[in-house]
Amino acid sequence: MPVIVAALGYFVDIYDLVLFSIVRVPSLKALGIGDASLIDDGVFLLNMQMIGMLLGGILWGWLGDKKGRLRIMFASILMYSVANIANGFVTSLPAYGALRFIAGVGLAGELGAGITLVSEILHTRIRGYGTMLVASIGVSGAILANFVANSYDWRTAFFIGGALGLLLLLARFRVAESGMFRTMEQKTSISRGNMLALFTDRSRFFRYLNSIMIGVPIWFVVGVLITFSPEFALDLGIAEPVSAGNAVMFCYLGLVFGDLSSGLLSQLLQSRKKAVLLFMAMTVAAVALYFLQGSSSASFFYGVCAFLGFAGGYWAIFITVAAEQFGTNLRATVATTVPNLVRGMVVPITMLFQFSRGFLGLRYGALFVGGICVIAAFLSLAALEETFHKDLDYFEEFL
């Protein structure tokens, strides 16, 4: 039951997370924003959401180790559900930005808490399958988001996302807290959720930093190549109109199969690092194909978006690796902050993209930023330890 609830929570999380990328153009136009400002105002709103997720990741991660994985998972669902319902009523850009920030804070908590809970309740041999199911079911929420956005007004799409989250809260009464957390809770001498400890020890700091950096290429793809796919399609010479919603849908459809494949490959190879390495290499190939496709058809472009999604389908493995690097008294803090710091990296990524496209152009500006992200990720992966067989029932010791 915890695996199913965590997966459904992530399903709603992803629905709400990508919905803005899908309805960016129609929602901004409905608020009176002109075509010339769609990219800049879109970056502003995306960054407000991502800054919220960055701050929310710190808040929920600390609370996850202090108060429990289960409470935080459902508290975060409640926050982003209410924020998205309110988002359906916005009439101005500042209000839109404020609610994207609040929704971002809420969206930050569900995945890390869910992955931590699943990792701690499942046996070492099968926990990879559990996190694989959470991610593969969860990312399919993007497909529903595209369907709803194409079938209903953008305001209604936000209402539906909020309602789905509120319905999921009913499941909280059938899920039990992690046994590892309950055991730790009884040991009053154990320091829990001490985020400063991640920065006061060299080994912990680099484990933390490297865990973050291996996920950055995924959000370069989603935050730049997919979110601004209509603009890239025009730059590449694709005559047919390309919809951001369809690009998101095909990307996340690829992510579903990518997460399933990377999870199964990790179990087959009995290695997290080898699976991540293979999918990072595929990401490089997919980005190259994205820019080398030339003036292809819209259908081929969407196919490339699906390949980008599949190659980035090591998201669950990446968060699992981060969670497995640390003891029980820091695990929720790490598992919650790491994915949100990666998502929050969209802010400097898009800022650098905006700067670099000013003198390199749209295409080469994106390649410049993507190259930095990929190189950093490969170096970080090489520095991390293999955690496939690691026993997670231990505590971090602070001096």
**Of 311, 260, 265, 309, the residue nearest 130 (C-alpha):** 260
Q: Where are the chain's structural domains?
A: 2-169+198-383
Amino acid at 321: V
Answer positive or negative: Cα dihedral of 44, 48, 49, 54. Answer: positive
Cβ atoms 319, 290 nearer than 8 A: no
Cβ atoms 106, 81 nearer than 8 A: yes
Tokens of 357: 């496209």
d(CA 40, CA 61): 31
CA 218 to the chain's CA centroid: 8
d(CA 251, CA 305): 5
Tokens of 50: 């991502």
In tens digits, what is the pLDDT along the chain, a chain of 399 residues?
667 777 777 788 888 877 887 787 788 888 877 766 677 777 788 788 878 888 888 887 777 767 766 777 778 888 888 998 999 898 888 898 899 999 888 887 777 777 777 776 776 666 667 777 777 777 778 778 888 888 888 899 999 988 888 887 776 656 655 556 566 556 655 665 567 777 888 888 898 899 999 999 998 998 889 888 888 888 888 878 888 778 888 888 888 888 888 888 888 888 889 999 999 999 999 999 998 877 778 888 899 999 999 999 888 788 888 888 887 777 777 877 888 788 778 778 888 888 888 788 888 888 899 999 999 999 999 998 887 777 766 666 665
Q: ∠ at Cα 298 (293, 304), nearest 5°?
A: 50
Q: ∠ at Cα 59 (58, 63), nearest 5°?
A: 115
Name the architecture of domain 2-169+198-383. Answer: Up-down Bundle (1.20)
Exposed / middle / buried, residue 277 (Cβ in 10 Å: 0-12, 13-18, 19+): middle
Amino acid at 293: Q
- Can you give the pTM of this predicted structure? 0.75
